[in-house]
């Protein structure tokens, strides 16, 4: 188990992941990660989104895998030290959803 800011982080079970995903529209569980695609009007808003995610991820000390295809940003979250999805991934996913609402 990894330790983060004094707390122990353990990989969640498939049932725990699915339960948390119920309240997170468009996020899905694939392999050892949760993922979602965000679509913007053009490239520049997509890049603004990525840059805001980078700031939040750096502050959290937890970094997503991201793909950028013009106006579509793909996000994949996993806790590599635990080889799976942890509460840290869901915390960052919620932040990312909030960030997406700030991009015109």
Tens place of pLDDT per residue across the chain (104 aa): 554 454 558 999 999 999 999 999 999 999 999 999 999 999 999 999 999 999 999 999 999 999 999 999 999 999 999 999 999 999 999 999 999 999 99
What predicted TM-score, i.e. pTM, was given to this entire model?
0.90
Handedness of CA 12, 15, 16, 21 (dihedral sign): positive
Domains of the chain: 2-100 (3.30.1360.20)
**Separation CA 77–CA 95 (nearest Å):** 12
Query: Given phi > 0 = left and psi -120 to 50 = alpha, else beta, which region is 81?
Result: alpha
Q: Which residues sit opposite 84 in a β-bridge?
A: 79
């Amino acid at each position: 188990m990894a330790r983060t800011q004094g707390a122990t982080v353990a990989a969640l079970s498939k049932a725990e992941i699915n339960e948390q995903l119920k309240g997170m529209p468009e996020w899905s569980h694939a392999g050892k990660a949760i993922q979602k695609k965000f679509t913007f009007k053009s490239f520049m808003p997509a890049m603004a989104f990525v840059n805001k995610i980078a700031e939040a991820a750096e502050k959290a000390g937890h970094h997503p895998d991201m793909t950028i295809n013009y106006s579509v940003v793909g996000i994949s979250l996993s806790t590599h030290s635990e080889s799976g999805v942890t509460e840290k991934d869901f915390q960052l996913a919620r932040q990312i959803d909030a960030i997406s609402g700030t991009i015109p």
